[in-house]
């Protein structure tokens, strides 16, 4: 399609969630941050593994269980090696598992900060009239879609709302209510820029911001 510019946004959260835990050293509820380090304990045929957290105030430790009393034969050698070597990617994956943290603790502090990497999939920036954003999420984020789009494109959230009301902005899936929710992996956002006088600025922000 003439005037179409399709860009993939790879979105990754930046600050790990912090469980709110009663710190026995501080004497009150404090946020704990992931240390990025694992503790592995082997006792005969059984093995335990935890991700170590530290109190943001006093550095007291708390262990978040990855698995406990697991038969060694059920643990893949590659996983065990990653745990023993404090693999950063594995630690990051568990640290961002908000569902598991809430299941253990209940209260978790989340942060909206994300990094966005852009890659043009189709079209050229010149003379763009239709912007098609393909969203790829490394893992779920808490940032609302309207805040993400407004921040990355350099526009106001009210302008996004106006585009949606005039059917210049379409979101697939989720439709009308999607702006107020966090983005989802595989989501598509289409914006008709044909009538916008600052479309070149928006296109530059979408692809190079």
Q: What is the pLDDT of residue 2?
A: 72
Helices 77-84 & 88-95, crossing angle to 10 degrees? 90
Residues in contact with 205: Cβ distance below 8 Å, sequence separation at least 6, in sequence order? 152, 153, 154
Rounded Cα gap, residues 103 and 113, in angstroms? 23
* Residue 95 half-sphere exposure toward CB, CA atoms < 13 A: 26
**pTM of the complete model:** 0.82
Domain segments of the chain: what residues?
A: 4-14+112-208, 18-109
**10-residue stretch averages of pLDDT, the chain, 209 residues long:** 89 95 94 97 91 97 94 92 96 94 91 95 90 94 95 96 95 86 95 94 87
Q: What is the pLDDT of residue 209?
A: 53
Residue that has been written with the tokens 């006792």 in this structure: 43
């Amino acid at each position: 399609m003439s005037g179409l510019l399709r860009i993939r946004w790879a979105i990754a959260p930046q600050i790990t969630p912090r469980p709110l835990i009663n710190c026995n050293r501080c004497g009150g509820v404090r946020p704990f941050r992931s240390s990025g380090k694992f503790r592995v304990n082997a006792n005969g045929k059984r093995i335990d593994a935890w991700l170590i957290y530290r109190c943001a105030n006093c550095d007291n430790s708390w262990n978040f269980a990855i698995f406990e009393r697991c038969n060694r034969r059920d643990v893949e050698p590659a996983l065990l090696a990653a745990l023993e070597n404090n693999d950063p990617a594995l630690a990051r994956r568990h640290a961002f598992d908000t569902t598991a943290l809430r299941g253990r603790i209940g209260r978790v502090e989340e942060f909206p900060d994300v990094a966005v990497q852009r890659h043009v999939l189709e079209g050229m920036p010149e003379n763009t009239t239709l912007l098609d954003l393909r969203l790829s999420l490394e893992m779920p984020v808490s940032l609302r879609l309207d805040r993400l789009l407004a921040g990355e494109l350099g526009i106001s959230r009210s302008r996004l709302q106006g585009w949606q009301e005039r059917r210049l902005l379409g979101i697939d899936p989720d439709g009308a209510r999607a702006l107020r929710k966090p983005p989802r992996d595989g989501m598509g956002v289409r914006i008709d820029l044909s009538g916008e006088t600052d479309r070149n600025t928006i296109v530059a922000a979408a692809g190079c911001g």
